[in-house]
Homo-oligomer: A and B are copies of this chain.
Amino acid sequence: MNYNPLTEEIVKELESILGSKNVILDKEKMENYSHDETPEEYAHMPDVVITPTTAEQIAEVMKLANKHLIPVTPRGAGSGLSGGAIPTFGGILLSIEKMNKVLEIDYDNMMIVVEPGLVTNEINGLVEDKGLFFAGYPMSLLTCYIGGNIAENAGGGKAIKYGVTGQYVMGLEIVTPTGEIVELGGKNVKDVTGYDIKKLMIGSEGTLGVITKAIIKLSPKPKFATDLLVLFKDVESAIKIVPTIISEGGIVPTSIEFMDKLSVHTTCDYLNEHLPYQKAGSMLLIEVDGTNESVVELDAETIGELCLENGAIEVYVADNFTTQERVWSVRRNIAEAFMVYSPEQSLEDIVVPIGNIAKLMPEIEKISKKYDIKMPSYGHAGDGNLHTTLVKNPDTTMEEWFDIENKALKELYDAVYKLGGKLSGEHGIGLKRMKFMKDHLSETELMLMKKIKQAFDPNYIMNPGKIIE
Residue numbers of A with Cβ under 8 A of B are 106-111, 130-132, 152-153, 155, 159-160, 163-164, 167, 176, 180-184, 186-197, 199-200, 202-204, 208, 218-223, 240, 243, 246-248, 250-252, 291-292, 295, 298, 351-355, 380, 382-385, 420-429, 437, 441-442, 444-449, 451-456, 467
Contacts and interface: CB of A to CB of B under 8 A. Distances in A.
Contacts of A429: 192-194
A190 B425 contact: yes
B243 A194 contact: no
Nearest to A446: B194
A203 B193 CA distance: 9
Contacts of A428: 192
**Highest count of chain B CB atoms <10 Å: which of A160, A188, A223:** A188
A449 B243 CA distance: 39
Contacts of A448: 176, 182, 195, 197, 455-456
A452 B188 contact: no
Nearest to A107: B243
Nearest to A199: B199
A250 to B, nearest CB: 4
Given A131-B247, A176-B444, A250-B131, A452 B190 contact: no
Contacts of A382: 189
Given A109-B355, A182-B442, A437-B194, A383 B189 contact: yes
A351 B427 contact: no
A197 to B, nearest CB: 6
Nearest to A458: B451
Contact of A192 (B110, B240, B424): B424
B442 A189 contact: no
B445 A383 contact: no
23 contacts: A106-B353, A107-B247, A108-B243, A108-B353, A110-B246, A152-B192, A159-B190, A167-B167, A181-B444, A184-B445, A188-B422, A189-B354, A189-B383, A190-B425, A194-B445, A195-B448, A195-B449, A196-B202, A220-B246, A221-B250, A222-B250, A223-B250, A454-B455
Given A188-B352, A190-B380, A192-B203, 19 more contacts: A106-B355, A108-B243, A108-B353, A131-B250, A159-B190, A186-B421, A186-B422, A191-B422, A194-B446, A195-B200, A195-B204, A195-B467, A196-B203, A197-B200, A197-B445, A220-B250, A220-B252, A250-B291, A452-B455
B295 A197 contact: no
A385 B247 contact: no
Contacts of A182: 442, 444-445, 448
A425 B191 contact: yes
**Stoichiometry, copies per complex:** 2
A147 to B, nearest CB: 16
Nearest to A252: B220
Contact of A109 (B223, B354, B444, B453): B354
Contact of A220 (B131, B181, B247, B385): B247
Contact of A452 (B130, B197, B219): B197
A206 to B, nearest CB: 12
A408 to B, nearest CB: 19
Contact of A188 (B190, B353, B451): B353
B197 A108 contact: no
Nearest to A182: B444
Contacts of A106: 353, 355
Contacts of A132: 247
Given A200-B200, A250-B291, A448-B176, A194 B351 contact: no
A295 to B, nearest CB: 5
Contacts of A444: 176, 180-182
Contacts of A449: 194-195, 197
Nearest to A466: B194
A380 B109 CA distance: 14
A427 B190 CA distance: 10
B189 A385 contact: yes
A250 B296 CA distance: 14
B109 A353 contact: yes
Top 4 nearest A-B pairs by Cβ distance?
A: A108-B355, A187-B353, A250-B291, A190-B425
A131 B444 CA distance: 38
